[in-house]
Structure 1
Amino acid sequence: MKVVVIGGTGLIGSKVVARLREHGHEAVAAAPSTGVNTLTGEGLADVLEGASVVVDVSNSPSFEDQAVMDFFRTSTANVLKAESGVGVTHHVALSVVGTERLRESGYFRAKQAQEELIKASGIPYSIVHATQFCEFAKGLADGMTDGDTVRVPAARIQPIASDDVAAAVGRTTVGAPVDGVVEVAGPEAFQLANFIRTGLAALDDPREVVTDPQARYWGAELQEATLLPGPDAQIGEITFADWLAQQK
């Protein structure tokens, strides 16, 4: 089976491509570096020729509100239009647990717009909602740093390793379309502050991490469970401690 992975050279995409190839599928990485530009449409028709499934794990290079909205709307529309012309039978997209609860954030409004385009396309689809990755501890800290202090909302997080995300996306890719959302999460939940504090400590980053009721998460106010998956989520195998140990 030919599978085209949009964003196939990135953190998740490269792992998905490798897993699919290990299982005997023709997995093709599509990205600007491979001659495929989803914003302009360049290379899409050629790369999708003969594809049964398209997996979109791409992300916007800018998180500025209008830029990220323009990226997901334009890129997704171009990909879906190209798919409809060649008979793709399954569109898989990677999104984020809690997207529908985070509409104060420009980034998550853009992800919601992406999902709505997919649902309205008429192409059978599966949307994988993953919790935040173990790899994101420092990036989350950077987005909430005030001087030498990281100010974090009082919320919980259930981080998942990128290898477990790629495995879930791979399983979804070779399965039947669900025409809905599949949630995946790591095996343990933490206070967001503890997750970031532990991640920074592993990097010998001296920033102080404090819980601040006024802090925002990419512009959105969080409740305790905003970032947590539902009871039917698929649970990954790699704990945050195990993931940290693998980085040494």
Structure 2
Amino acid sequence: MRIVVTGGSGQLGSEVVRRVRELGHVAVPASRRWGVNVTTGQGLGAALTGADAVVHCASSPWRPRATDTGGTEQLLAAVAAMPRPAHVVHVSIVGCDANPYPYYRAKTAAEELVMAAAVPATVVRATQFHTLVAALARASTLGRAHLALDAAAQPVDVGWVARELVDHALGSPPAGAVRALDLAGPEVLTVSEAVSAVRDHDGRPRTRAVRMPTLGRTLRAFAQRSNLPGPGAVVGGPSFTDWLAGQPAPAGR
């Protein structure tokens, strides 16, 4: 099969490309590095020529309206114009529709575009990646203290998510747009637990927690743990603890 991967040079996209090729299929990475710009549609038509599926990984927390929402709109239009529309496997975030964080709002709007499109599509939500949780744990540390929000995460391994996405892309395309089961890792950690795990791994002394008030709708949504999956999620890959153990110190950088 021929599978196009938008955001093919990014953390998730590069793992998807590697997995597709590992299984003996043709992976076409599509990003500005290869002359494809999803925000404008430049190069999309050429990249999609002969494609059986598209794994849509292109995303930008800094420019979400242009990349995530606008880019998804451009991709869906290009796919709809194909003689035989490719199966779009769209990557999203668990709980994005329950949090007003601008990046999550853009992901929700992109999902709505996919679900309304007249092309075969599968929306796959995943929790935060291990690397992000490790980076946030470091960023929350100030000297011998860390900011502790009343929140938790169920981080997931990016390589495992890539394998699940490729399985969707290689499967039979749906008749229309569908939502797949959410993807999550096997371990739930509070902010303080994540900070302690990273500090231990890096060989640094533990820090004391300074409770951060849950001001505003975004922080309240995280405090309500809207970013955790429901009971029907597909759980797999190494836990955050096991992933950390396999990383050179400091992890996630």
TM-score of Structure 1 vs Structure 2, range by shorter chain: 0.7 to 0.9
Please list every run of 5 or more consecutive structure 2 residues that lacks an aligned counterpart in the other structure: 249-253
Choose the corresponding residue for 1:121, options 114, 117, 120.
117
Q: Deviations over 1:58-84 (max 9, x none)?
A: 11161xxxx422322221111111111
Counterpart in the other structure of 1:167? 163
Letter in 1 for 2:22: E
Counterpart in the other structure of 1:109? 105
TM-score by length of 1: 0.87
Distance 1:182 1:85 in 2: 28
Please list every run of 5 or more consecutive structure 1 residues that lacks an aligned counterpart in the other structure: none
8 Å contact 1:5–1:57 — kept in the other structure? yes
8 Å contact 1:126–1:182 — kept in the other structure? no
Letter in 2 for 1:180: R
Q: 3-state SS of the aligned residue for 2:181?
A: strand
1:79–1:207 distance in 2 versus 1, CA, 3 Å: farther
Q: CA deviation at 1:136?
A: 1.0
Letter in 2 for 1:39: T
Q: 3-state SS of the aligned residue for 1:132?
A: coil
Counterpart in the other structure of 1:181? 180
Q: Deviations over 1:70-122 (max 9, x none)?
A: 322221111111111113231111111111111x2111111101111111111
TM-score by length of 2: 0.86
Counterpart in the other structure of 1:94? 91
Q: Deviations over 1:102-147 (max 9, x none)?
A: 1x21111111011111111111211111111111124324665678
Letter in 2 for 1:229: P
Counterpart in the other structure of 2:251? none
8 Å contact 1:197–1:209 — kept in the other structure? no
Distance 1:217 1:181 in 2: 31
Instruction: Map 1:36-185; keep pairs closer than 5 Å.
Output: 36-60=36-60, 62=62, 67-86=63-82, 87-102=84-99, 104-141=100-137, 144=140, 149-177=145-173, 179-185=178-184
More displaced, 138-147 or 76-85? 138-147
Q: How many residues align?
A: 243
Q: Does 1:17 align with 2:17?
A: yes
1:30–1:197 distance in 2 versus 1, CA, 3 Å: same
Q: CA deviation at 1:53?
A: 0.6
Distance 1:174 1:108 in 2: 27
Q: CA deviation at 1:4?
A: 0.2
Q: 3-state SS of the aligned residue for 2:85?
A: coil
Q: CA deviation at 1:10?
A: 1.1
1:176–1:223 distance in 2 versus 1, CA, 3 Å: farther
